[in-house]
Amino acid sequence: MDRITITTPDDWHLHFRDGDMLNETVPATARCFKRAIVMPNLVPPITSADMALKYRSRIIDASPANSQFEPLMTLYLTNATSTQDIVDAKQAGIHACKLYPAGATTNSDSAVKGIDALYPVFQAMQEEGMLLLVHGEVTDSHIDIFDREKAFIDTHLASIVEAFPQLKVVFEHITTADAVQFVSNSSANVAATVTPQHLLLNRNDLLVGGIRPHNYCLPVLKRNTHQQAIRDVVASGSNKFFLGTDSAPHTRDNKENACGCAGCYSAWSAIELYAQVFDDLGALDKLEGFASHHGADFYGLKRNTDTITLVQELWQVPDRITLADGTELVPFYAGQTLNWKLENSLS
């Protein structure tokens, strides 16, 4: 097989940032995705429907002229989020709220301390049919960074899922066999997104032969047995697992730094990276469900009706992307060769 045609995919988790950066990030995603769930971790975070709608129009302004790209907005939960905020957000067409434990990742300082305090908000979300998107890591300083996802399941996620059986929960960017197992064993209202980096890499790719800052993201890459569990479950075709790149640009200076930022900017090669993984797994027939069907079905949205085609062709991910103001980004998988290529950009 040297070409495959699939329903146009969507990206169910990414970071566009704001301002001039949108002129880079939005076209990169609109290249191959019809819709994307846009993360709200700006400074200040997107905490109200009004902020989300304004952010949405800035994203649409940055979309290529001929694109039909549709940003799907989210709200950032804080300890100040009220049940009225949820009602207003639902009315404004916002699909989901993101739970970041305080200090878990980039721009999460204003996030939630004491998750139990949010139970009335989760109740309102369940009633309104609003999805809960979870960055599933505890942040307690005494918990080892490699154990933080599992600890989050045990300390918080299992209780939330049990207390709100009708609440749809997406366990974002899963990294462990524990998360795979938790999601697989939970009800149909619990699903997970999977990034290209957690399918392609394990912690050796971060630490062996020198520290590789462009492979540093959160949750951090885990050991190869966890990587294998994630690969196995996407190859199984389970409809609880779907595409969410977590594409998250940081400038080269901020990545190649004594205290480098967490995030991989994968938008420019996203669908190709996933195609490569599914091909390696002998599961190319499962790519379409993962990339184009399971996410829309879980969110209760229509599947896209148009298609994209990927062709088998060697190409190299660029070493650098230079923005109009001279800022440099190093894309994920920079300089590496991929064997699938999008035939025609959507825009």
| Contacting positions for ligand NCD (CB under 6 A) | 15, 41, 105-106, 135, 217-218, 246, 248, 262-263
**Closest CB 296 distance from ligand NCD, rounded Å:** 21
The item of ligand NCD, Zn ion, none sharing an interface with residue 198, based on CB under 5 to 8 Å by kind, is none
Q: Is 235 in contact with 241 (CB distance < 8 Å)?
A: no
**Closest CB 248 distance from ligand NCD, rounded Å:** 4
Please tell me the distance from the alpha carbon of residue 47 to that of residue 208, in angstroms, as a whole number: 40
The item of ligand NCD, Zn ion, none sharing an interface with residue 126, based on CB under 5 to 8 Å by kind, is none
**Closest CB 39 distance from Zn ion, rounded Å:** 5
Backbone angles phi and psi of 101, in degrees to 5:
-60, 140
- Whole-number Cα distances in Å, 238 to 136, 245, 340: 20, 18, 23
Structure tokens at 268: 């420019």
**37: which strand partners?**
72
Q: Which is nearer to Zn ion, 11 or 288 (CB)?
A: 11
Please tell me the distance from the alpha carbon of residue 171 to that of residue 213, in angstroms, as a whole number: 25
**101: which strand partners?**
112
The item of Zn ion, ligand NCD, none sharing an interface with residue 24, based on CB under 5 to 8 Å by kind, is none
The item of Zn ion, ligand NCD, none sharing an interface with residue 346, based on CB under 5 to 8 Å by kind, is none
Q: Which is nearer to ligand NCD, 168 or 214 (CB)?
A: 214
Please tell me the distance from the alpha carbon of residue 165 to that of residue 175, in angstroms, as a whole number: 24
**Closest CB 261 distance from ligand NCD, rounded Å:** 6
State which residue has the least CB distance to Zn ion. Answer: 246
Q: Is 209 left (phi over 0), alpha (psi -120 to 50) or beta?
A: left
- Beta strands 3-7 and 328-329 are unpaired
SS3 content of the chain, % helix, strand, coil (to 5): 40, 20, 45
Q: By CB under 5 A, name the binding residues for Zn ion.
A: 246
The item of ligand NCD, Zn ion, none sharing an interface with residue 135, based on CB under 5 to 8 Å by kind, is ligand NCD
Q: Which is nearer to ligand NCD, 250 or 286 (CB)?
A: 250
The residues annotated with a catalytic role in the active site are: 246
Q: Which is nearer to ligand NCD, 217 or 346 (CB)?
A: 217
Please tell me the distance from the alpha carbon of residue 282 to that of residue 276, in angstroms, as a whole number: 10
Q: Which residue type sits at 199?
A: L
- Beta strands 328-329 and 70-76 are unpaired
Q: Which is nearer to ligand NCD, 31 or 135 (CB)?
A: 135
**Closest CB 8 distance from ligand NCD, rounded Å:** 24
